[in-house]
Amino acid sequence: MQLFTDNSFFIWLAGLSIPAIYLGCREKSLKWYGMFVTFVFVWLSMGSNLNALFNLGLYTVIEYAVVRIYLELRTKKGRVTWQYRIFLLASLAPLTIYKILGLTGNKYHIFAFLGLSYMTFKSTQMVIEIYDGVIKDFKTSNFIYLLLFFPAITSGPIDRSRRFDEDIDKIIPREEYLELLGEGIYKILKGMVYKMVIAACFYTVMNYFGTGGTWYSIAIYFYIYGVYLFFDFAGYSNMAIGASYIFGVRTPENFNAPFVSKDIKEFWNRWHMTLSFWFRDFLFSRITMALVRTRKIKNKLVIATIAFMINMFVMGVWHGLELNYIVYGLYHGVLLSACEIFQKKSKFYKAHKKDKWFIGVSWFITLHLVMFGFFIFSGRLGILLSNQG
């Protein structure tokens, strides 16, 4: 069974939601029932692949041990940087091993299960915030539930432990739950329309008209791929958020009309927001602070450029070690750096940034830069270039 794709999933979701709705309306805790449903869906989606199920279990045990042991050390020893770095690398190790083995085919399917990349964000965030002193303790049950929470296990949105804990440990008043339930059902229906109707239509058009080598086929693919990607992924995200609401969890939003963005920084504040905000908070800002503390680089724009390039390179590698993903990350690093420099240094920008014509031109340019980025991401540009060679 594929979550949020197969008809059987929606039948199971509808049936398993009934007790959740009953508990929510009775102002009872949804945590333990939600955990039960999560285990049911993990089994239904991976039960036919015992290797994947075993690797998921192994991964969960490893990440729990990393986070728990580091918390104990942090409590007893305080902020010891070398210890923090070891446990940070340990939390990233399964994903790193999987990515590297993927280059050679991963014959034994080590850590090969859907959701590994997204689950890693959650455990790594906890290690970082334990080091920061923000997380003082955590419940084992909450950790397992966060990691495996079925709506977000395969493709996000990426939640954070402290926010998630507040939701699952909270008893929701009946009226508030009914409102949440209504919003959840609406989001599931909206997501189904996005993914199964609109995205499917764009995908059909793209495959039928956009796969040739003519200039117009390339142009069709260039514009449609990004739009298809949005409706497909935003549709999934809406369904995941909607299902979360039914079980009392306000999983954060992932998209906010990204194609209306007037510059590339605004785009990343609207596109795959839980991913971009995670990188902003746990990588970009920390690189920036580290560079400022060294006092070796005094130019703020140089610091921002270095941070943008590293941040987006890592994001590209997170998507995959294939060249198109790495180039995609570096491409957006360059765009973000250029945008920052232009907005901070350009007198022309400062004089016209509020003019309607300038806003319109900025939107047009941003849209095409974004679409070209998706063209790189899809791998189609690499194929065209290799054919030319």
How big is the chain, counted in residues? 389
272 is catalytic: no
The whole-angstrom distance between residue 144's C-alpha and the CA centroid of its chain comes to 19
Cβ–Cβ under 8 Å, residues 284 and 311:
yes
Return d(Cα 105, Cα 364) in angstroms, integer. 41
Q: Is the dihedral of CA 203, 208, 214, 217 positive or negative?
A: negative
Residue whose structure tokens are 């590297």: 100
Q: Is the dihedral of CA 328, 206, 270, 41 positive or negative?
A: negative
Return d(Cα 273, Cα 160) in angstroms, integer. 13
Q: At what angle do helices 116-132 and 81-102 cross, to 10 degrees?
A: 170
Q: Is the dihedral of CA 244, 245, 251, 257 positive or negative?
A: positive
Given 272, 319, 352, 368, the catalytic residue: 319
The DSSP 8-state label assigned to residue 151 in this structure reads: G
Q: What are the residue numbers of the active site?
A: 319
